[in-house]
Amino acid sequence: MIALLSLILGVARADEGMWLPEQLPGLSDELAALGLELPPSQLADPAQDPLAAVVSLGFCSAAFVSEDGLIGTNHHCVSGYLSYLSDAANDRARDGYLAGSREEELWAGPAARLYVVESIEDVTDAVLRRVRPRTPDLKRREQVDAAKKALVAACEAQPNRRCRVASYYGGRTYRLITQRELRDVRLVYAPPYAVGSYGGEVDNWEWPRHAGDFAFLRAYVAPDGSTADHAPENVPYKPPHHLTVATEGVAPGDFVMVAGYPGSTYRYRSAAELRFHAETVYPRKVAVYTELVALLTEEAAKDPEAAARLSSPIDFVGNSLKYARGMLDNFEKSGVVARKEAEERALTAWVEAHGGPHAEALAELAAIEEAERATWARDTVAGWLMWMPDLLGATHTAYRFAVEREKPDLKRDAGYQDRDLARARHRLEAMDHTLWLPADRRVMALLLRETQALPADARVPQLDAWLAAQGGVDAALERLYAAPALAGAEARLALLEMDRAAFEASDDPWVELAVALEAWQAPLRQLEREREGARLRLQPLYIEALQASRGGHFYPDANSTLRVTVGRVEGYAPRDGVLHLPQTTVAGVVEKAGPAPFDAPQRLLDAAPGAPQSAYADPALKDVPVDFLSTLDTTGGNSGSATLNGRGELVGFVFDGNYESMSADWMFDPALTRSIHVDIRYVLWLLDAVEGAGWIVEELSPAH
């Protein structure tokens, strides 16, 4: 029993950290102790195996898993593609999809992209070359922004490349990331919703878990191997590197690692920021997201077409709601706020002991944060209004392009340069497959009323004036949704061709509203530029002091760039008398089966009795393993990341964290923070024994 507990609860604590690949050689001893068999120098190079096989979908992680461009990721990462491919007659968001051959693989739509890292280069000197200690804040921001855009423009002079200059440690260092962009992405297999999201919101973020949260895509290119838009004559992409499947899977205590693109963490934010989120931000999100989930679910129940189109946004908002609730629970039970305050006391003590400019930097940053908190409610509600309703989001985006086009390209705001126009166009095209006007109207109504409920001194005057001119919220909604021309792609795309004068002369209600909101937002954007400049001056000093006060290894907060995290397969004890083992099996799927959200497909239940005798069964478990826990440090954006063993072979895909891990975005807790993965053996068993997709299994075979 003692040996079992040592495997479940472990003692080695090198798990925390979303490490830059280049940092891994400095962790050689820790990695060797955990069980890494590859040389850390190999992991430091994104052009070598296994990191070279890791790719990004732009919002989720993924990886090449065959020499013919097959890509593994999560089911929930392809939910938008499934919505695009769904209608009342073919609800693939509900039923999933299996291509019978490569000829039957379905184009995921004009917005689908795959990004393959080609190089990562330190460009700190180039970005900060013109910045001087006494450079005014706004000028500092302009200089850094200009340098970053010039680097990106030079990088993207290469055809079919998407480049980015990423900031680390509050602007202490910068890296130029060059990615090849592949534009023909096709769906190969996605399980039914009742498999990929088995348990729905009931099981979301929970353990034990039994979800088959995986899917397969394929990247296509022109016959000569060059990047191409979707076309019938395109052929599968031949990646220089792909992962090898480890059919033996994992066992408790095994080393595992994940390479992917974690989105955002807040581990170096102040204690005051954490308290504000605990007391204000997350409670407000819970209230609004609760209403959004309810109204979207009601609309989906009214029409099969609505159900197909709204499946992805319901999942997205539902996940965001549970995340916000989980944060509040975690803050209350885990002592994260008190731990953050203790950390800040240590920082203050270091600053007081060492003097220098750090004390002034901390005080100035605190004043900026306080000013932002003062307008948070207004800024957040107005921000939701400008992106949640599809039609207003599309119109406001097009107007921003028109305004920014009056400037030279390199002077425009990020996201509104010429390089961004094709993406915007594709999103507006794809909306024909996802827009559902009754739901859009109800979302708009909710958010307009949220703005009107703000205190008088926290309202948006331009919005109030526009609503008054319409005769109030109800009259405005009727005018907006009576017969919106923008419900069609042709009208939306026409917006991208309009200049600023045409927008401001238009009597279309959507355009009027977008122009009114931009009149409010533009001056605030200038204020934010000044604050960004101040942060560029102050945050490096803050991070320097924080690193010195903590000591030891120090990794940057997640920022959607390539990271590696390491750990072991391990369970945990969430509360007194409860011990979670780290693996689940097909028997558990059957045990849970019943009404939705546990409505496992009958073909899966029919195949389940044969699972223990299959080639995919685990000898120790005497069944096919479904999901497993690890101590890996992951967050949103890591979804779809390939889970690798010590030899760099594929053993699963990470798809979630446990409920107790949500507050790890603010502070990692080694005792409770766990990642949840789908086991590669369940993936293979489902494809083979349940779906009869032997051709995909063969392509995944190490001997293929």
Q: Are 355 and 487 in the same domain?
A: yes
C-alpha span between 580 and 7 (Å, rounded): 12
**Mean predicted confidence (pLDDT) in 244-273:** 96
Domain that holds residue 137: 116-182
In this structure, the answer to whether residues 411 and 525 fall within a common structural domain is: yes
Q: pTM for this one?
A: 0.93
Residues 645, 587 within the same domain: yes
Q: Are residues 360 and 426 in the same domain?
A: yes
Residue for token pair 């990562």? 120
Residue 358 a catalytic site member: no
Confidence category of residue 78, pLDDT binned at 50, 70, 90? very high
Q: What is the per-residue pLDDT for 217?
A: 98
The residue type at 679: D
Reply yes or no on whether the pLDDT at 255 is more than 50.
yes
End-to-end CA distance of the chain: 41
Separation of alpha carbons 439 and 431, rounded Å: 14
- Mean pLDDT calculated for residue range 32-46: 95
527, 546, 565: which is the final residue of a domain?
A: 546
Q: For strand 563-568 and strand 255-260, is the pairing parallel, antiparallel, or unpaired?
A: antiparallel
Q: Is position 72 within any domain?
A: yes
Average pLDDT over residues 17-24: 96
What is the C-alpha to C-alpha distance for residues 182 and 113, in angstroms, rounded to an integer? 6
Is residue 3 pLDDT above 90, yes or no? no
- Give the pLDDT score at 241: 97
Residues 122, 107 share a domain: no
Q: Is 656 in the active site? A: no
Same domain, 416 and 297: yes
Domain boundary among 182, 199, 233: 182
* Residue 409 maps to a domain: yes
Q: Give the residue-averaged pLDDT of 380-391.
A: 94
91 catalytically annotated: no
Q: Categorize the per-residue pLDDT at 590 as very low, low, confident or very high, splitting at 50, 70 and 90.
A: very high
Domain-ending residue, one of 124, 154, 182: 182
Domain-embedded: residue 133: yes
Residues 174 and 212 both lie in one domain: no
Nearest-5° angle of CA 502, CA 503, CA 509?
130
CATH of the domain at 83: 2.40.10.120
Is the confidence at residue 704, as pLDDT, over 70?
no
559-577 pLDDT, tens digit per residue, is: 999 999 999 999 999 999 9
**Same-domain check for residues 211 and 350:** no
- In-domain check, residue 272: no
CB atoms within 10 A of CB 101: 7
User: One of 639, 641, 663, 675 is an active-site residue; which one?
Assistant: 639
pLDDT, tens digit, 9 for 90 and up, residues 491-512? 999 999 999 999 999 999 999 9
Residue-wise pLDDT tens digits, 400-448: 999 999 999 999 999 999 999 999 999 999 999 899 999 999 999 999 9
| Same structural domain, 473 and 607 | no
Specify if 585 maps to a domain: yes
CB–CB of 70/207 below 8 Å? no
% of the chain exceeding 90 in pLDDT = 94
What does the DSSP assignment read for 336-395?
HHHHHHHHHHHHHHHHHHH-TTHHHHHHHHHHHHHHHHHTHHHHHHHHHHHHSSHHHHHH
Considering the domain architecture, whether residues 645 and 569 belong to the same structural domain is answered as yes
Whole-angstrom CA distances from 593 to 598, 608, 688 are 5, 12, 21
Average pLDDT score, the chain: 94
Tell me if 436 is assigned to some domain: yes
Mean pLDDT over 670-677 rounds to 95
What tokens were used for 465? 């004036």
- Say if 275 falls within a structural domain: no
Residue among 213, 254, 315, 656 flagged as catalytic: 213
Same domain, 444 and 537: yes
State whether 533 and 628 are in the same domain: no
What the block records as the tokens of 347 is 């920082």
Q: Is residue 441 part of a domain?
A: yes
Q: State pLDDT tens for residues 597-647.
A: 999 999 999 999 999 999 999 999 999 999 999 999 999 999 999 999 999
- CA 12 to chain CA centroid, Å, is 29
The DSSP annotation for 439-482 comes to HHHHHHHHHHHHHHTS-GGGS-HHHHHHHHHHTSHHHHHHHHHS
Model pLDDT, residue 551: 84
| pLDDT at 9 > cutoff 80 | no
Q: Choose the catalytic residue: 76, 358, 396, 677.
A: 76
For 147-193, write each residue's pLDDT tens digit.
999 999 999 999 999 999 999 999 999 999 999 999 999 999 999 99
Give the number of domains in the chain: 3
**Does the pLDDT value for residue 144 go beyond 90?**
yes
Residue type for position 642:
A
What local confidence, expressed as pLDDT, does residue 14 receive? 53
pLDDT tens digits for 615-625?
999 999 999 99
* pLDDT beyond 60 at 5: no
